[in-house]
Amino acid sequence: MADRAQSLMRLWPGLIAAALVAALTLGTLLAVALRAEGWGGLSPSDWAAIRFTLLQAFVSAAISVALAVPVARALARRRFPGRGLLVTLLGAPFILPVIVAVLGLLAVFGRNGLVSLVFNWFGWPPIHIYGQHGVVLAHVFFNLPLATRLILLGWLSIPAERFRLAASLGFAARDLTRELERPMLKAVLPGAFMVIFVICTTSFAVALALGGGPRATTVELAIYQAFRFEFDLGKAALLALVQFLICAVAAGLAMWLHVPEGGGPGLDRNVERWDARRPGLILLDAAFILAAALFLLLPLSMVVASGIPGLASLGGSAAKAAMRSVAVALAAGAITVAAALALAFAVQALRGRAEKGLVEGIGYLSIAASPLVVGTGLFILLFPVLDPVSVALPVTALVNAMMCLPFALRVLVPAVERVDRQFGHLADSLSMTGYARLRHVYLPRLSAPVGFSAGLAAALSMGDLGVVALFADPEAATLPLQMYRLMAAYRMDEAAGAGLLLLTMSVALFWMFDRGGRINADA
User: Which CB atom, from 169 or from 443, has the smaller least distance to another protein?
Assistant: 443
User: Which CB atom, from 6 or from 313, has the smaller least distance to another protein?
Assistant: 6
Q: Segment 99-118, which members bind another protein (CB under 8 A)? A: none
Q: How far is the CB of 355 from another protein (least distance, A)?
A: 20
Q: What are phi and psi for residue 132, nearest 5 degrees? A: -60, -40
User: Which CB atom, from 252 or from 444, has the smaller least distance to another protein?
Assistant: 444
User: What is the rounded distance in angstroms from the CA atom of residue 235 to the CA atom of residue 197?
Assistant: 25
User: Which CB atom, from 324 or from 437, has the smaller least distance to another protein?
Assistant: 437
Q: Segment 243-262, which members bind another protein (CB under 8 A)? A: none
Does residue 522 touch another protein according to CB under 8 A?
A: yes
Cα separations (Å) of 158 from 38, 146, 288? Answer: 52, 19, 22
Q: How far is the CB of 523 from another protein (least distance, A)?
A: 6
User: What is the rounded distance in angstroms from the CA atom of residue 311 to the CA atom of residue 291?
Assistant: 30
User: Which CB atom, from 168 or from 520, has the smaller least distance to another protein?
Assistant: 520
Q: How far is the CB of 435 from another protein (least distance, A)?
A: 7
On the CB side of 172, how many CA atoms lie within 13 Å of its CA? Answer: 3
Does residue 270 touch another protein according to CB under 8 A?
A: no
Q: In this structure, are residues 191 and 200 in contact, taking their beta carbons and an 8 Å threshold?
A: no
Cα separations (Å) of 300 from 270, 455, 479? Answer: 29, 20, 18
Q: How far is the CB of 216 from another protein (least distance, A)?
A: 53
> Among candidates 138, 143, 145, which has minimal Cα distance to 209?
138
Q: How far is the CB of 443 from another protein (least distance, A)?
A: 9
Q: In this structure, are residues 213 and 131 in contact, taking their beta carbons and an 8 Å threshold?
A: yes
User: What is the rounded distance in angstroms from the CA atom of residue 42 to the CA atom of residue 36?
Assistant: 11
Q: Please report the sign of the dihedral spanned by the C-alpha atoms of residue 428, residue 434, residue 435, residue 438.
A: positive
Q: How far is the CB of 522 from another protein (least distance, A)?
A: 4
Q: How far is the CB of 2 from another protein (least distance, A)?
A: 8
Instruction: Provide the mask over 439-478, with x wherever binding to another protein is found by CB under 8 A and - wherever it is not.
Output: xxx--xx---------------------------------
User: What is the rounded distance in angstroms from the CA atom of residue 84 to the CA atom of residue 278?
Assistant: 23
User: Which CB atom, from 262 or from 424, has the smaller least distance to another protein?
Assistant: 424
User: What is the rounded distance in angstroms from the CA atom of residue 480 to the CA atom of residue 469?
Assistant: 10
Instruction: Please enumerate in sequence order all residues whose Cβ is within 8 A of that of 437, keeping only pairs 6 or more positions apart, or say none.
Output: 427
Q: Segment 426-445, which members bind another protein (CB under 8 A)? A: 426, 428-433, 435-437, 439-441, 444-445
Among 422, 489, 518, 519, binds another protein (CB under 8 A): 422
User: Which CB atom, from 82 or from 444, has the smaller least distance to another protein?
Assistant: 444
Q: In this structure, are residues 314 and 497 in contact, taking their beta carbons and an 8 Å threshold?
A: yes
User: Which CB atom, from 1 or from 385, has the smaller least distance to another protein?
Assistant: 1
Does residue 425 touch another protein according to CB under 8 A?
A: yes
Q: Segment 381-410, which members bind another protein (CB under 8 A)? A: none
Which range of residues in 180-188, 252-260, 318-326, 425-433 is near another protein by CB under 8 A?
425-433
User: What is the rounded distance in angstroms from the CA atom of residue 483 to the CA atom of residue 465?
Assistant: 10
User: What is the rounded distance in angstroms from the CA atom of residue 320 to the CA atom of residue 318?
Assistant: 5
Which range of residues in 173-181, 245-253, 294-302, 514-522 is near another protein by CB under 8 A?
514-522
User: What is the rounded distance in angstroms from the CA atom of residue 242 to the CA atom of residue 274?
Assistant: 51
How many positions of this chain bind another protein (CB under 8 A)?
A: 24
- Rounded to a whole number of angstroms, the distance between the first and last alpha carbons of the chain is 28
User: Which CB atom, from 312 or from 523, has the smaller least distance to another protein?
Assistant: 523
Q: How far is the CB of 521 from another protein (least distance, A)?
A: 7
User: Which CB atom, from 419 or from 492, has the smaller least distance to another protein?
Assistant: 419
Does residue 294 touch another protein according to CB under 8 A?
A: no
Instruction: Please enumerate in sequence order all residues whose Cβ is within 8 A of that of 211, keeping only pairs 6 or more positions apart, or say none.
Output: 52, 130, 131, 132, 134, 135, 217, 218, 221
Question: Following DSSP, what letter does each residue of 23-77 receive, concatenated?
Answer: IIIIIHHHHHHHHPPPGGG--HHHHHHHHHHHHHHHHHHHHHHHHHHHHHHHHHH
User: Which residues contact another protein by CB under 8 A?
Assistant: 1, 3, 422-423, 425-426, 428-433, 435-437, 439-441, 444-445, 520-523
